[in-house]
Amino acid sequence: MSAQGVAVLLSWMSCCGSALWRYYTNSPNYHIFSTRTTIKLEYEGTSFSEWSVPATCSVKNKKSPKTELRCSSPGIHIIKPVVTGPDPEEERYLSVDSSHTCFLWYCKVGSFFHNLNQVLLTIWIYDPENADPNELLQNANEPSLNSIVLSKQLASLGQSPTIHTFLKRKSYFPHGKVNGTWRISLPLVADDALKEIKGNKVAFQDCFIEDYLFLLTFPFLTIPEIPGFLPVTSPRGSQLIADWNSCFPSGVVLVADMETFQTNDSFRTWTRIRVPPNILTDDERHNVSDVNLYWSGIFFLINGIVYFRNLTAFTRLGNNENLPEGGIIGLSSRKWCWSKYKLKPNIKSHMVIWTREEIYLGYPPLRFVKIITIKKLRKILNMPAAGVLTIQDVKYTGHPLEIALLLNHCITCTTVKRLYIVIYSEVTKEWVLQDFELDVAIDSVVTSRFPYASISEVILWDKHRVYYSYHNFTVTGVLQTPTESGNLSRLAHGSVISTVFTDYYGNIIVKMENNIMFFFKIYTTDAVKLHLWTNNQTKSLFFLNASGKIYLIYVFDDGTIYPQDYPVRLETQSIASKTKEKCPFIIFHHNIMYISYVLDKGHYLSFWAQIVYPENAGLYITVESYGPDILKKESQVLYEIASGYCTKTITVTFYQTVDYEAVKDYFTLQNKNTGLLVVRVRPSEYTKMCPAAQKVFQVAVGCDFSKFIAVKGFDRKSCRWHDFFYIIKKSYLRDRPSKNLRVKYDWKKYGCPLRLNFKEKFHPVLQLYSDDGYIEDVDVNFIVWEIHGRDDYSFNNTMKTSGCLNEAQTWNSMHKLNKHLPLEYAWGPENYNHCFSYAIGKPGDLNQPYEIINKSNHNHLVWPMQHTGMYVFRAKILDPNYSFCNLTAIFAIEIYGTISSPNGDLVIAFLFLLMLLFFSILVLSYFHYMRIYRQYIYAPIYKTRRIKDQEK
């Protein structure tokens, strides 16, 4: 945080509240906290005397409540302010590193182009100790002079940034360098938003550059402020209410008691969300009890009614959207970002709305479906009819396809009620009552939160206590503290719990209304009180920024918002140094690179994890999975011991062994063996002070929609695109219609046709691709057919030459068996039977063409010799054990070089004319030769006789 930012913050925070002190650095998110770092100390209060620091550290002005600290040697340094009065201030144990990482990457998101599908990033290097204030506040449009010089110097040494994506593991490189900056264009992809800037291993003055993690995706539509519109707020004096998108955490909507705010950049900038006048009364406008952020707008819950605010309107939702006109008590959406979890064809909900007796799921765009009532649920779960059963809370679990209900049940309903948890699966539509029971006071309002984990685990809280239930609800209890038996209010000067915040690393922070905080980790059962960071008068809330780091939002009475990074790692390390709590292991690491894996047929997932711990600690690695029982698991453990340390390495493989060939109900079997598992790998023991001690990822078994097939040798760029029409004669069509078929060649859909001479045979080779590019040549069986119904082509292989023992399937035979289906659905992996066994099929004519192709059987398409034509084929994978996907590809072939067969009538007419001409020539020849005979033979003889007669 910059000095200007600190001054603004303190001007608001130092007016009231108890004394406390904080520290800051110029490095965002406290990335760099080393011997090179300038640590800014700030004391808030009136009893300050001086700073107490160890001899290895120096203070710029020991008597000033605002000063700078530098520590020349690494280690843990005890820092505290000396104050006047009987109550001493708390001390912090600051852990200062000796890292050689000194510089940071700065990333400026530029303009969008290509229909908002790509963005241009400008990147440079900056030194947080010598940076411009705008760079420290992350709002610089161009590098400062120091950053330009630093970037150019490192570039001359070979430095260059590369952007790597976490989910799809793609890399993007600079395509230009201007004035000390690099430029990289990136596509905006919703399911690959997490990115990291990495550089080469280049040092300048013994300093390296820290890798930079950030989130880049399509921005939310921020609703603009419109003059004349009125604020919509929570009740006066209430705590902050917020919601954020699970896969875009820097997009937040925040409701305070003076305004509602929306941001796309973790509150570096924000807008006020207001509503048109004369729609709500003043009491309604100031009575928001819940909020939910959606891609296209914001849902507000006001007096039991849901309202929707988007760019153009503020709408009350009710009967028209299949929602009740009142009585709604809560809204909820997913809190954890999962990708590739929609494997089944049914659409998954984006939010849940509930009353005390009904639950509704929301689907895009504004469609709601009532899925259950308390009366029906009681009957499904066989719960006793006695007593009152109501819905307390509804939340999405850690599994992306499940929803959890927290139910209240009581008999007399005077002092105690019992809580139950029911899990609903959006895939199976089943309701399952869990092995969970918790008794609380009748007036307790209990809220739940499901952490980022593989199996069902929940954190619950009321005003005074936090409850936990781990290991699929088998271990339940009250979060303990060193004193007061888990009653956090007694340790927080009577304040009540405001919220419980969890992150992806298992960190859990309990924030009281007076800003006292407690910390614990998932699977731990006790909490520690953190150092005071914020005074008890400032309203604050925790969020995750675009880098996945925790930050605080302060909301002040005049409608001002201020974000501030919170050093959760440094603060917990300080507490651990004081309590002497240590992590039981030294190292825990693995080779799990992604958070989402997709397993297709025949594929397997293998990974390893390793833990290093002191000898005799007895630790091991557990691998837990939650979801349908559709995968087999094999594991192997290797054990080593050396120099007093043990190393255990586990190798785990997930796979399937289902055979889909010649089954009765192919699609039912496929559906039964597809689904989503959430897997967690973790050490058997860890404490609050361990680093990230778990890896959670999902394994989706089913079709990977990023995969597709294409025919080798075809492209869309080798020809001039234009649509045209051509005629297929009725005699060339499979169904022999009464008319010729006029076909439009769709160039965009079919691509460039391959031109072949009629003498050339064609053997199609299929290739498998994904969004990342080429994967492999397909070597399993596939079939092709002409999509417009042509059958004037054949295959060079016969069933006999292909090795068939019985008659093989053909398009004609399969079409006869499935006359009720279109041709393209008549034959596929669901009904494929091979011909290479006497037990399958029946004897027949094996001299028929064999219509099944694969990469190695050299089966070619053969063309007619009598005519040319345009053929548009579709290829389909026939092997039932190749993929869950219905993989097809389309390609076109144009045949040339033949002479078209003449029309029969024309041939007869031509022969008639030829014969007529022949006889005419004969007749004419006869008369012609007769004339010659008469002229040269008959006439001269006659004349000679007359002359001789006259002479006589």
pLDDT of res. 915: 87
**What length is written for the chain?**
952
Name the domain boundary from 195, 215, 235: 215
pLDDT of res. 469: 94
Residues 177 and 72 in one domain: no
The answer to whether residue 843 is domain-embedded is yes
The answer to whether residue 549 is domain-embedded is no
Q: What whole-number distance in Å separates Cα of residue 744 and Cα of residue 187?
A: 34
The answer to whether residue 632 is domain-embedded is yes
* pLDDT(2) > 50: no
pLDDT of res. 7: 44
Q: What whole-number distance in Å separates Cα of residue 108 and Cα of residue 214?
A: 11
DSSP structural state of residue 238: P
Per-residue pLDDT tens for 569-604? 999 999 999 888 889 999 999 999 888 889 999 999
Q: How confident is the model at residue 413 (pLDDT cuts 50, 70, 90)?
A: confident
pTM reported for the whole predicted model: 0.85
Residues 210 and 196 in one domain: yes
Residue 878: both structure tokens together: 């026939």
The answer to whether residue 145 is domain-embedded is yes
The answer to whether the CB of 165 falls within 8 A of the CB of 194 is: yes
pLDDT of res. 112: 60
Q: CATH code at 604?
A: 2.60.40
Strand partners, 710: 767
Name the domain boundary from 215, 247, 282: 215
Q: Residue 40 in 3-state DSSP?
A: strand
Q: What is the dihedral of CA 545, 549, 554, 555, to 10 degrees?
A: 30
For residue 729, which of 824, 599, 867, 930 has the smallest C-alpha distance? Answer: 867
* Residue 86 CA: distances (Å) to CA of 47, 82, 83, 159, 305: 11, 11, 9, 56, 53
Provide the number of structural domains found in the chain.
4
Residue 714: both structure tokens together: 């075809």
Return mean pLDDT, the chain.
Answer: 89
Residue 723: both structure tokens together: 């649509």
The answer to whether the CB of 107 falls within 8 A of the CB of 214 is: yes
Element spanning 488, H or E? helix 488-491
Query: Of 41-50, 518-527, 719-728, which range is least confident?
Result: 719-728
Give pairs for 531-535: CB < 8 Å, separation 24+: 531/20, 531/90, 531/92, 531/571, 531/574, 531/575, 532/18, 532/20, 532/90, 533/20, 533/22, 533/566, 533/571, 534/13, 534/20, 535/13, 535/14, 535/16, 535/17, 535/18, 535/20, 535/44
pLDDT of res. 711: 94
Residues 744 and 892 in one domain: yes
pLDDT of res. 748: 87
Q: What whole-number distance in Å separates Cα of residue 702 and Cα of residue 672?
A: 10
Residues 873 and 780 in one domain: yes
Q: How confident is the model at residue 6 (pLDDT cuts 50, 70, 90)?
A: very low
* pLDDT(710) > 90: yes
Residue 442: both structure tokens together: 């009748």
* Backbone angles phi and psi of 385, in degrees to 5: -70, -20
Residues 711 and 659 in one domain: no
Residues 872 and 731 in one domain: yes
Q: What is the dihedral of CA 260, 266, 268, 272, to 10 degrees?
A: -10
pLDDT of res. 11: 47
Residues 610 and 724 in one domain: no
Name the domain boundary from 676, 701, 726: 701
Residues 677 and 777 in one domain: no
Q: What whole-number distance in Å separates Cα of residue 24 and Cα of residue 39?
A: 6
Q: What whole-number distance in Å separates Cα of residue 891 and Cα of residue 874?
A: 6
pLDDT of res. 10: 45
DSSP 586-619: SEEEE----SEEEE-TT-EEEEEEEEEEETT---
The answer to whether residue 447 is domain-embedded is no
Q: What whole-number distance in Å separates Cα of residue 503 and Cα of residue 547?
A: 12
* pLDDT(510) > 70: yes
Residues 610 and 691 in one domain: yes
Residues 677 and 713 in one domain: no
pLDDT of res. 379: 93
Q: Which domain holds residue 207?
A: 101-215
Per-residue pLDDT tens for 756-814? 998 899 999 999 998 778 999 999 999 999 999 999 999 999 999 999 999 999 999 99
The answer to whether residue 918 is domain-embedded is no
Q: What whole-number distance in Å separates Cα of residue 88 and Cα of residue 277?
A: 53
In percent, the amount of the chain with pLDDT more than 70 equals 94
pLDDT of res. 4: 44
pLDDT of res. 943: 55
The answer to whether residue 455 is domain-embedded is no
* The one-letter amino acid at 421: I
Residues 30 and 119 in one domain: no
The answer to whether residue 203 is domain-embedded is yes
Q: How confident is the model at residue 15 (pLDDT cuts 50, 70, 90)?
A: very low
The answer to whether the CB of 444 falls within 8 A of the CB of 402 is: no
Residues 608 and 752 in one domain: no
Q: How confident is the model at residue 273 (pLDDT cuts 50, 70, 90)?
A: very high
Q: What whole-number distance in Å separates Cα of residue 172 and Cα of residue 192?
A: 13
Q: What whole-number distance in Å separates Cα of residue 878 and Cα of residue 778?
A: 11
Q: How confident is the model at residue 430 (pLDDT cuts 50, 70, 90)?
A: very high
Q: How confident is the model at residue 13 (pLDDT cuts 50, 70, 90)?
A: very low
* pLDDT(26) > 70: yes
